[in-house]
A = this chain, B = another copy of it.
């Protein structure tokens, strides 16, 4: 995290890894400590390492034991009193996860279509592969793309100075404006998808779309009409 942005992957160099481990273990334990103290919660951390025969445990072994026991007996614990809240909470969590899942699936689909479109544009796929995609949705994607391109072109025409800080600054992919690097968590930013930074290039869409349309309609799609 310094002098070089860390890459979240196994450190192959032995000594380097060990050094990192020691530093990070220390930091981690400090963090657990802070969390419990500041927020008054119970927590424990257990770290096995090839460097120490005895696993690092925090807080004291007893403390950890207590936490662990509770963890193990969770089901029996106070199922009674908290059951209702618990269940509602859990249900809520499930719903939340499912919602996110749905969003991601939708997003995934969109990306697939977009991807396919770009492949066509790059000449690496042809509309013959179109059965791979869903026509209706592809239509949506294309319309969206066209709208974006047109808007972009208009913007360029109106403002001859091709500034890079255009309105679509938040750009295509790679969402996290402040996201941590490998946090992974930043992957699926919802809603940041509009606006491709056409960034000063004239896209070859005429070719693509023409090609696409003709072939598509030949294939029996009904959706090509509103593209123009």
A interface, CB within 8 angstroms of B: 4-11, 17-18, 20-21, 24-25, 27-28, 30-35, 37-50, 52-55, 57, 61, 64-65, 67-76, 78-91, 93-94, 97-98, 100-101, 104-109, 111-116, 118-119, 121-126, 128-129, 132-134, 136, 156, 162, 164, 171-176, 180-184, 186-193, 195-205, 207-208, 211, 223-224, 226
A129, B199: Cβ atoms under 8 Å? Answer: yes
For this complex, 20 residue pairs linking A to B, each with C-beta atoms less than 8 Å apart, are A6-B34, A7-B136, A11-B39, A11-B40, A30-B180, A41-B47, A43-B46, A72-B81, A75-B84, A86-B87, A90-B90, A114-B115, A115-B118, A116-B172, A116-B173, A118-B121, A125-B173, A126-B175, A134-B174, A196-B201
Copies in the complex: 2
What residues of B have a CB within 8 angstroms of the CB of A176 in the complex?
123-124, 126
A53, B175: Cβ atoms under 8 Å? Answer: no
B48, A45: Cβ atoms under 8 Å? Answer: no
What residues of B have a CB within 8 angstroms of the CB of A207 in the complex?
181-182, 184, 186-187, 201
Instruction: Name the residue on B nearest A88 (C-beta).
Output: B75
Q: How far is the CB of A26 from chain B (nearest CB, A)?
A: 9
A129, B173: Cβ atoms under 8 Å? Answer: yes
Q: How far is the CB of A227 from chain B (nearest CB, A)?
A: 11
What residues of B have a CB within 8 angstroms of the CB of A54 in the complex?
74, 86, 89-90, 93
